[in-house]
Homo-oligomer: A and B are copies of this chain.
């Protein structure tokens, strides 16, 4: 196999540089980019070249331009945006099923690979759930609940699973919030979280999967009931 003689176009070079600046948090979400005129000088390219680069990133969902105002960073992950769009084209039920698939695998892997730091993070997030539950703050509880699940997924030590889970859960969150608030009833039993954590701590794979199934099936029933109203 010979070397592939691919020279990156100027546009692609600028795109990569901007992507890098965003990924490295040099430009954070919400930040305004310098004006085109200044970026032209900094990257030492013409306006057309710069604009093509920016346009590519706008379409990818990383940037957003507004005529007369400027360009701001909208997201730091093109993959997240792509997944987000896919989720929007799907039903909530479909997405939940995919999330269940990932969560079940994560629970299994977490039970095998979790370390002390993972367990600590999960324990802390359960405390947050408990606090929010006692205050009766639904929104805060959901926030904490997500932190717990993310901690579990992280304990699976599979970065791809983690990324997929995060970007699938994020767009679901608003739907879930609506449904839960609309559902009005809010009976949190902290036992499931504790039992799941205990199973992972004891490295009991079957128990962990079983609790995840139980958790999600409860949730699925809840949503089905609310949607039928």
Let me know if A176 is at the binding interface, CB within 8 A.
Answer: no
A64-77 vs B, CB cutoff 8 Å, 1 = contact: the mask equals 00010000000000
With contact pairs A48-B51, A83-B82, A94-B159 given, residues A104 and B104 touching in the complex (Cβ less than 8 Å): yes
Residues of B within 8 A of A145 (CB): none
Residues of B within 8 A of A11 (CB): 55
Count of A interface residues, CB-CB < 8 Å: 40
A149-190 vs B, CB cutoff 8 Å, 1 = contact: the mask equals 000000000111101100000000000000000000000000
- CA distance in complex: A59, B19 (Å): 12
Residues of B within 8 A of A98 (CB): 102, 105, 158, 160-161, 164
Q: Which residue of B lies closest to A81 (CB)?
A: B82
Most interface-central of A59, A60, A79 (chain B CB within 10 A): A59
With contact pairs A55-B55, A59-B15 given, residues A158 and B97 touching in the complex (Cβ less than 8 Å): yes
- CA distance in complex: A98, B167 (Å): 14
Interface stretch of the complex, out of A31-39, A84-92, A118-126, A220-228: A84-92
A residues whose Cβ falls under 8 Å from a Cβ of B: 9, 11-12, 15, 48, 51-53, 55-60, 67, 78-79, 82-83, 85-87, 90, 94-95, 97-98, 100-102, 104-106, 109, 158-161, 163-164
Q: Which 7 residue pairs spanning A and B have beta carbons closest together?
A: A101-B105, A56-B59, A82-B82, A52-B55, A90-B160, A94-B160, A101-B101
